[in-house]
Structure 1
Amino acid sequence: MESVITDFNENGFSILHGILASETLEAVKHECKTLVDALASQRQTEGKLANMYPDADFETRLIRLYENYPDENPTIFRPELHREGFFGVFAHSILLELAGVILGPEIRLYPNYSVRPKLPENKRTEVLWHQDAGYTSKEADVLRMMNVWAPLVPVNIENGCMEFIPGSHKWGVVPHEKDEYYLRIHDDYIKPVEADAVSIEILPGDVVIFSNLLFHRGLPNRAQHVRWSLDFRYQDATQPTLRTTQGHLLRSQRTPEAVVKDAKAWAQLEFQ
């Protein structure tokens, strides 16, 4: 715990190897497969799919469903994540313990939790250098947050792993500008440090925690499969979200009755 916190404070991130159990990962993958099943049925109903490819594996089925309509494939699932199988990761005891040390006893799941299927050679999933705080507001550097990123397949440079600039979280929110699909850090701030980037190549079961101020990006996926990942953020719940949405309370000494108590309760909620 001490070394993880030290890495987080000094470098802006820390890698935790093998903390997600196989059954926790399988529950998440099962829910993702269910979401893909629903998409397949919808596309067949729309007349855009003759074969739903039920026997295709987890890493390639989504490609097959959209191979004739590459601009229609989903790049993110968010309101769809109120399903029981996702709760085991969002409310993981080790992650909440770390969040408690970093953020304090009042912990909110920030309203920015996502599953991202990164399809091959798709510009809409090539995330540019940014800070998550850059998407919120100029005041976002005051937000006390711990970001979490967990791959559902092995991630590497070929299939579009993340890259970080160590220590960049100490510089506050820097200027961003709009690109075609995403915001990106202004060249004056990223070019001098881009050579310091480190590639985060990890396996399912591994988790990365990082600051919402850290410079990071997602490389293009040049493999022939989908790079599935899950990302979410814990926030000090005594602070505002600086968004119109408020997220969900996962730990609290002040109002324990308001905490999402289990997977069934999670599945009855909505993205808000």
Structure 2
Amino acid sequence: MLSYPFMQNAYMAGTLIAIISGIMGVFVIARNMSFLTHTLSEIGFAGAAFGIFMGWQPLNGMLLFTTISSIGVGELGAKSSRRENSITAISALAIGLGILFLSLADSNASYATGILFGSVIGISRANVVQMMILSISVLVVVVVIYRYLKFDSFDPIGAQVKGLWTRTLSVIFLVLLAFSVSVAAQIVGSLLIFILLTLPAAAAKYFAHTVGMMISVAVAFSLVGVWLGLYLSYVTNWPVSFFIAVIEVLFYFSALVYQRIRA
């Protein structure tokens, strides 16, 4: 299996995706932004469609759209009372634009399928290098702001009382999340990217009691889901996103059973 270059690329890209998703997912869950990850996945679809329309790499279009939109959500949604409405409005616009760009580009159904559900075969070595650069950039920024991000995510009231720059921190986090969505959508697809950014971390919180342990467990769950999903996809020729979704859902329900037994 690993003798094929496309599977080598898929496993390298999948490993990067799992690590980034596991780390970012812990803060997504802590900040109650699961709904936003779903919205950014739809925005990523519009960005990829725009990239195809312009003759770019889909990843470049995703980065453009998700980054601009995340900053917009951060500014428009500064007040919690209007955050959901802002996200809904941007999401609706993104879906409409994605359909429009695909129509104007005269792309066949395989392009749309690849954007929505990911494509193992479509991952090239150049894509892997680009994803590696983006992943390292995200990790470096997370390491730099980790202490402040942890404080703001798990104790937002205390962060405000201490005078932490919460609004700027929120925008930075949203941009990092946009990068993570764009990176992960290459394999999982823009439609299902929220799975890796929510379920591993949601399951991890039942097994760990510190932020560091939650990140470690979430990354482990993500890695198992991606690696096993790629293998099963290769063996069966079924979509890799299906297997990743099933595996991560099983992890989550196992966590619920574990919590019930402990209680």
TM-score interval, normalised by the smaller of the two chains? under 0.3
Q: What is the TM-score of this pair, normalised by structure 2?
A: 0.27
- Higher normalized strand content (fraction of residues): 1
